[in-house]
Structure 1
Amino acid sequence: MKIIAMIPARYEASRFPGKLMKNLAGKTVILRTYEATKQSNLFDEVYVVTDSDIIFNEITSNGGKAIKSKKEHESGSDRIAEAVENLDVDIVVNVQGDEPFTQTEPLKNLLQVFKNDTENKIDIASLKIKMEDLDEVNNPNNVKVVCNEDGFAMYFSRCPIPFARDISKAVYYKHIGIYAFRKDALLRFTKLPINQLEAAEKLENLRFLANGITVKMVETDQLAIGIDTLEDLEKANAIFKNN
């Protein structure tokens, strides 16, 4: 089974423009993410996939592998699909470019799902983490997921799900946006039109569910630190300084 990691990387970002090229303890955010993913030793290859010459040159000039997108894309999954279409690969892991503290254990658990899936019932695997803080639960930037008894996603939403008629019975899980795809499922997804649910919530994972693409959720207790704001970058620099 050939497994690769793809790191989609846009230069522009609405909340923090150019964040992937910001300085994080002497290296750029995107280079830190690339190196952390490589150092996990879980992948046959690691690539950054980007629409930006700046990011492409940053990775390749530091000895890394990068692929330049040929088209404009609505999502990171679409960008990755273009890049892997002609590659000989079985599993493709989408690692977020703004998460320089990528950790090995959650990724290893994600990949183990496919190694155990002898009947090929799983199209996609992704991560979830339990949420205890109700302010976090109610924050629409935190995507929630509910699963069936076998751990497959039933729905993703920016709203708190389930609705708690009895708060003592409610358990909430945050979706962590790292995906591991079977290559054929990824290519199939990108050929599907955006549906009403995805358009309403602005969540591409709802396109999976609406079209019968299975998403196996793997629970983790390790929350990745993303760089979405200047404050996040300052916190990340402090972590590097203290370590």
Structure 2
Amino acid sequence: MFIPEGGIQTGFFAGFSVLALISCMDMTNGGLYASIMQQYGSKEEAGAFVLMSLESGPLVTMLILGTTGLAAFQPQAFVGAVLPFLVGFILGNLDQDFRDFFSKATHTMIPFFGFALGNSIDLTVIAKTGLAGILLGVLVIIITGIPLMLTDKFIGGGNGTAGLAASSTAGAAVANPMIIANMKPEFMPIAQSATALVAASVIVTSIIVPILTAYYSQYMQKKNKGKVVQKKGNQFTA
């Protein structure tokens, strides 16, 4: 409704397009989330990154573009995007040995996630996209972070830390604009600018999200600790 079909061409928001916004906001950085939650969350919260892998690819982007009527994709494209995860889920649930074997590798994988993420960060992208790239990264944290924190609190039973830790852009999202453009050539003219903005969002969220999550987790721990002390004090007085 608000963004032209070919994206915004001039002004501060030049390069912003539906493809760029969707690619930034529909994929969580699962490796970043897992490493953060290993330190600030529970085992169950850290393990949620496995389900996040479903969105770490073009599947959700295709679903959003398809359901909004912006693009139509062949059924085999959806099957190809989700088939590897279905095979993994089936094997893990049918074979206890498979589940036990791969569950032990969760902690081992985190340094590799971090190493891959660090290698993919190119700070010159921030200079190329300017304030628009930084703004997009901040928007991702605000627009996706607030609903995720509320969901974590009222549905997941957490305190919002996991929701905030998930408000990032996945490194794999950088490839999404070109993948979608190759499937639907009408997106090709805006794919390059969308790729640059998505890359900037990956860097910005990778830096800001861990810092915000650490501060928020410490704040919630102090808040909950104060409640426990007050409750014990009331019981002692009674």
TM surpasses 0.5: no
TM-score range relative to shorter protein? under 0.3
Q: Comparing both structures, which one devotes a greater share of its residues to strand?
A: 1
> Could you tell me the TM-score, scaled by structure 2's length?
0.26
> Could you tell me the TM-score, scaled by structure 1's length?
0.25
Whichever of the two has the greater Rg, that structure is 2
Q: Comparing both structures, which one devotes a greater share of its residues to helix?
A: 2
